Amino acid sequence: MSYFRKSIHEMSGYVPGEQPGTGTRFIKLNSNENPYPPSPKALQVLREIDGEMLRRYPDPTAKNFRLAASKVFGVPDDWIGVGNGSDDLLNLIVRAVGEPGKQVVYPYPTYVLYRTLTQIQEAEFIEVPYPEDYQLPVGLLIAAQGAVTFIASPNSPSGTAVSIADLEKLAKELSGILVIDEAYVDFAEANALELTKKYGNVIILRTLSKGYSLAGLRLGFCIANPELLAQLNKVKDSYNVDAIAYAVAASAIADQDYKIANAEKIKASRSKLAISFKELGFQVWPSQTNFLLVRPPQGDAERIYQTLKARGILIRYFNQPRLTDKLRITVGTEEQNQILVKTLTEIL
């Protein structure tokens, strides 16, 4: 007996990376947060928030943010939708499309939330295995013909790139919606923005959590044609983005120079860190993100995760098929990365 729907009772909820209390002195490399502070211009806007702005309800469409994003990405502002993080937008999409009998399709392993949201909606999930080289299994994804297909591009937790040509094949051949989740695009060489202009079924998801150092603010956005956005709009909470979030985010998104400079630092650190891991005998997947998927020489990932944690360094261990011998490690500051490598050298 349960008070709740059978599907809710039976599913296990999404488990986010551990967030140790502020004040605890962990080196936190488990949630792919940006190690650098947010844009000084965005922080200035935050300091100037006044009470009158908070007394009123926020603008349900976050027009100021959408205008700022519209300039940066060269799309009309009615092609942009906002969410309380891109997780909120993922939720809206699954709620608007998913129901019993409908299929949600994505490659595996990828972002676990796609499955969780599908289960809540009692739709069916189809997980198409990625091959070991993480080339997108395009043929199988097309054959599955999901009502919605999710592709994290670049992928997490592998960190690997997804070919834009492969995404275009999907866009062309799928009769359902194709969601391209570009949470890590700020650290990648390519993006799929053009596909949403060319194909009526493509939704691009972006977030300020990773590239813009604003994970705590909760602002994600999508770029898609207004007909798709109109349907998602019916599902969303009117005030899903608060007034502080969109004011700060508008300033952060306009400060592209700052974001790009941080991403360049992180990409340089990523290359150095990958070399250090290889020297320690780890297998390292090629990354286009702000993290690395690695396999320790003995495959004893859980032990290394626990040992690092005991020494004040948090990384991510996934107790899931194909991942139990691997670790996902966020690229930190140069100093954090050096402590990580030194500690690992001692542990091995």
Residues near ligand PLP (CB under 6 A): 85-87, 111, 152, 156, 181, 183, 207, 209-210, 215, 220
Smallest gap, in angstroms, from Cβ of residue 89 to ligand PLP?
A: 8
Residue closer to ligand PLP (CB basis): 88 or 168: 88
CB of 282 to ligand PLP, least distance (A): 22
* The residue count for the chain: 348
For ligand PLP, the closer of residues 58 and 220 by Cβ is 220
Cβ 139 to ligand PLP, closest distance in Å?
23
| Residue 159 beta carbon to ligand PLP: minimum distance, rounded to whole angstroms | 10
Taking the C-alpha atoms of residue 316 and residue 130, their distance in angstroms, rounded to an integer, is: 20
Between 28 and 210, whose beta carbon lies closer to ligand PLP?
210
70-75 long-range contacts, Cβ below 8 Å, gap at least 24?
Answer: 71/254, 72/253, 72/254, 72/256, 73/193, 73/223, 75/193, 75/196, 75/197, 75/223
Q: Closer CB to ligand PLP, residue 79 or residue 212? A: 212
Q: How far is the CB of 152 from ligand PLP (least distance, A)?
A: 4
Report how far residue 109's alpha carbon sits from residue 130's, in angstroms, rounded to the nearest whole number: 7
Q: By beta-carbon distance, which residue lies closest to ligand PLP?
A: 85
Least distance between ligand PLP and beta carbon 183 (Å): 4
Distance CA 94, CA 107 (A): 16
Q: Check if the beta carbon of residue 218 is closer than 8 Å to that of residue 252.
A: no
Q: How far is 133 from 263, CA to CA, in rounded Å? A: 25
Nearest CB to ligand PLP, comparing residues 276 and 316 = 316
For every residue of 131-167, DSSP letters joined together read PTT----HHHHHHH--SEEEEESS-TTT-----HHHH
C-beta closer to ligand PLP: residue 249 or 273: 249
Q: Indicate the SS3 state at residue 176.
A: coil
CB 131 to ligand PLP: min, Å: 19
Q: Which is nearer to ligand PLP, 327 or 344 (CB)?
A: 327
Does residue 154 have a cis bond before it (omega within 30 degrees)? yes
Q: How far apart are CA 255 and CA 264, in angstroms?
A: 15
